[in-house]
């Protein structure tokens, strides 16, 4: 499909605006690492929360959802919908404590919570492990998605598409190194607006091209030819795409046991970074709440509807993920005048994720490895320069990683499986004084080792692509890793009382797990926080998101009475949450 002058003008204007924003914030970003990585800890909740949403709205996400719907139906999205429970737990149980910690990165937390060489090792190891290989896997699958978009939409070869991709990546790295987190925030706001608008527009025209929603639903059901339809929001017990054991594993285990970027148990990664950058605790809580509502409830249906339309429009397509890209370039679907906006929207989705991942990964490498172990006494300007260099190096490495990733969904499941079993220690380290540095180290090592052995041909040989075997893999890895880190916790020395007292006074955790330390510290926990109150808000938050999510889904399919009831329930939950947050001020 040949792009017109108007298309290129729209795309060029988007890049020009992005560059102008970065130039505007470049002077502020150079003053310190706090400005470069945390926007001076002065971001309002709506900006920080929207930046989180924009980061997860990557170029890969619509393609991933399209592949999931084609393979496992709408219910296939429980792969990530189950993470609602983890995200809402971060909002009410952990966001305030993260903001009180006052650290630059969540990895720095290791030496705030623990002491001695084990804490230093944990901080350095996690900084390099998360900042380089894990971060580059994420960057790699986002690059892989954008490469697929470029080859399909521009009808060019892989070599040409890679060259174009490198140019966009270079521009993203440039404005990220120039403007720091403030530049990322403001461009994320612009990018999210464009991304979401174009996703809704494409969904509308795709449905019309498929004959309207009623005909689309009828054709999908007819193609399935069985009681288990791809239109089911909840899979039946005998679903061929998601057996009961897999669905129950998502709902009962995956959401709390697995470390996954953006949905870390207890918070972490760029979510924690946004909380650190918020103006105060309240802004941190509201930012995280807004992120979860927008991420899980508001965004999925335009992608899902377009994915269903591609099943009808391109029934013989082998690479189902690419159906989304075909739809946006198909003259039968999208008016030619909107192609430039749609491609600019994809560029925005790509760049918003890349910019955050580069800034986040560089913060680990510089603050938690270089500054901590290699050059602890350098100037702030020196660290900013090293941060900029690190950002560029991560960009180059991500291109290499892209070449060895098999698929987007495969990369997602790889991180889920290798992080299985580590979630429990990340949740309890805030609420039980007995957790120590070796607890975390053992969880990381055993989880990765168990996952590798269970998937290896010479081991159990379980495949994460097979639903039942994925469930077996997650359950077994979680059980082994949890047993290992619990045993290590009880067999290794406790942290010094002085360290625990200092941590308690700074973070003020609540609950019986810190009662012994609270007496030593002679500092009562915050009077407006209780575990019971957090649990009630967690239930209300999960209710809010799931009822809003499925209410929108039923509205899309014309089931107005069900949608109205679900929206009413969501409204009641939101009202109670608002009241509880106001009373907890």
What pLDDT band is residue 51 in, cutting at 50, 70 and 90?
A: confident
Examine residue 402 and state whether it is found in any structural domain, yes or no. Answer: yes
Token readout for 242 is 């998601």
Dihedrals phi, psi of 480, to nearest 5 degrees: -65, -50
CATH of the domain at 130: 1.20.1730.10
The pLDDT assigned to 28 comes to 63
pLDDT of residue 258: 83
Question: Left (φ > 0), alpha (ψ -120 to 50) or beta: where does 346 sit?
Answer: alpha
50: its two tokens: 């929207």
The two structure tokens encoding residue 384: 């900013």
* Domain-embedded: residue 573: no
Domain presence at residue 67: yes
Q: What are 352's two structure tokens?
A: 């918003």
| Backbone conformation region of residue 266, classed left if phi is above 0, alpha if psi is from -120 to 50, else beta | left
- Please state the rounded mean pLDDT for residues 236-257: 84
Residues 136-156 have a mean pLDDT of: 79
Indicate whether 536 belongs to any domain.
no
Distances (CA, A) of 521 to 94, 101, 434, 500, 504: 21, 17, 16, 9, 7
Counting beta carbons within 10 angstroms of the beta carbon of residue 93, is it exposed (0 to 12), middle (13 to 18) or buried (19 or more)?
A: buried
Per-residue confidence at 73, pLDDT binned at 50, 70, 90? confident
The answer to whether residue 74 sits within a structural domain is yes
Q: For residue 59, which of 394, 404, 403, 348 has the smallest C-alpha distance?
A: 348
* Number of alpha carbons in the 13 Å side-chain half-sphere of residue 543: 19
- Structural domain of residue 139, as residue ranges? 5-418
Dump pLDDT digits (tens) for 215-234. Answer: 988 888 877 665 557 888 88
Distance CA 292, CA 297 (A): 8
Residue 325 lies in a domain: yes
191 and 349 in contact (C-beta within 8 Å)? yes
How many distinct structural domains can be found in the chain? 1
pLDDT digits (tens, 9 = 90+) for 325-380: 888 888 888 877 787 787 787 777 787 778 778 888 888 899 899 998 999 888 88
**How does DSSP classify residue 278?**
B
The DSSP annotation for 380-433 comes to HHHHHHHHHHHHHHHHHHHHHHHTT---HHHHHHHHHHHTBT-HHHHHHTTT-T
- Alpha-carbon distance of 213 to 219, in angstroms, equals 10
> So what's the pLDDT on residue 27?
67
Mean pLDDT of the 115-132 span: 90
Cα gap 414→451, rounded to integer Å: 9
**Confidence class of residue 43 from pLDDT cuts 50, 70 and 90?**
confident
- What are the pLDDT digits (tens) for 53-69? 887 877 778 888 888 88
pLDDT for 269: 81
CA distance 32 to 40: 9
Q: Does 192 fall in a domain? A: yes
pLDDT score for 129: 85
43 DSSP β-pair partners: 278
Rg (CA), the chain: 23
pLDDT tens digit string along 189-199?
887 888 888 88
What is the arithmetic mean of pLDDT over 498-517? 92
Q: What are phi and psi of 59, to 5 degrees?
A: -65, -25
Per the domain annotation, does 35 fall within a domain? Answer: yes
């Amino acid at each position: 499909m040949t792009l017109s002058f108007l298309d290129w003008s729209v795309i060029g204007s988007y890049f020009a605006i992005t560059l102008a924003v970065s130039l505007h914030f470049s002077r502020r970003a150079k003053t310190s690492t706090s400005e470069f990585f945390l926007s001076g800890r002065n971001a309002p909740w709506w900006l920080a929360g929207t930046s989180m949403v924009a980061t997860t709205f990557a170029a890969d996400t619509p393609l991933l959802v399209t592949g999931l719907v084609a393979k496992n139906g709408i219910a296939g999205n429980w792969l990530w919908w189950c993470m609602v429970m983890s995200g809402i737990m971060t909002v009410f149980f952990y966001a305030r404590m993260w903001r009180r910690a006052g650290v630059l990165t969540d990895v720095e937390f290791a030496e705030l919570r623990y002491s001695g060489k084990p804490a230093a090792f944990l901080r350095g190891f996690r900084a390099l492990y998360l900042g380089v290989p894990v971060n580059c896997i994420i960057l790699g699958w986002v690059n892989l998605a954008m490469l697929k978009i470029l080859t399909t939409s521009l009808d060019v070869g892989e070599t040409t598409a890679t060259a174009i991709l490198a140019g966009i990546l270079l521009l993203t790295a440039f404005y990220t190194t120039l403007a720091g987190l403030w530049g990322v925030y403001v461009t994320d706001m612009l990018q999210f607006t464009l991304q979401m608008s174009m996703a809704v527009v494409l969904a509308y025209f795709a449905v019309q091209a498929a004959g309207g929603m009623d005909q689309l639903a009828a054709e999908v059901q007819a193609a399935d030819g069985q009681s288990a339809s791809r239109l089911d929001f909840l899979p039946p017990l005998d679903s061929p795409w998601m057996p009961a054991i897999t669905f129950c594993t998502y709902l009962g285990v995956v959401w709390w046991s697995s470390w996954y970027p953006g949905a870390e148990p207890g918070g972490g990664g760029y979510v924690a970074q946004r909380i650190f950058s918020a103006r105060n605790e309240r802004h941190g809580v509201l930012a995280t709440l807004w992120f979860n509502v927008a991420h899980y409830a508001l965004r999925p249906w335009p992608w899902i509807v377009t994915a269903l339309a591609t099943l009808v429009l391109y029934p013989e397509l082998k690479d189902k993920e690419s159906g989304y890209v075909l739809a946006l370039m198909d003259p039968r679907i999208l008016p030619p005048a909107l192609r430039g906006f749609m491609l600019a929207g994809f560029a925005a989705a790509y760049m918003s994720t890349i910019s955050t991942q580069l800034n986040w990964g560089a913060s680990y490498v510089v603050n938690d490895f270089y500054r901590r172990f290699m050059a602890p006494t350098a100037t702030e300007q020196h660290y900013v320069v090293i941060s900029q260099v690190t950002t560029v190096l991560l960009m180059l490495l991500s291109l290499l990683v892209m070449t060895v990733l098999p698929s987007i969904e495969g990369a997602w499941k790889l991180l889920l499986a290798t992080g299985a079993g580590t979630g429990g220690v990340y949740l309890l380290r805030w609420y039980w004084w007995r957790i120590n540095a070796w607890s975390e180290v053992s969880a990381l090592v055993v989880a990765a080792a168990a996952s590798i052995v269970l998937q290896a041909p010479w081991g159990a040989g379980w495949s994460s692509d097979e639903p039942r075997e994925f469930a077996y893999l997650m359950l077994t890895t979680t059980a082994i890793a949890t047993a290992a880190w619990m045993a290590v916790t009880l067999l290794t020395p406790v942290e010094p009382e002085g360290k625990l007292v200092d941590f308690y006074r700074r973070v003020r955790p609540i609950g019986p797990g810190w009662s012994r330390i609270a007496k030593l510290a002679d500092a009562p926990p915050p009077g407006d926080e209780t575990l019971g109150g957090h649990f009630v808000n967690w239930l209300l938050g999960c209710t809010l998101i799931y009822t809003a999510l499925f209410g929108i889904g039923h509205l899309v399919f014309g089931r107005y009475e069900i949608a109205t009831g679900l929206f009413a329930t969501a409204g009641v939950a939101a009202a109670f949450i608002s009241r509880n947050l106001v009373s907890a001020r």
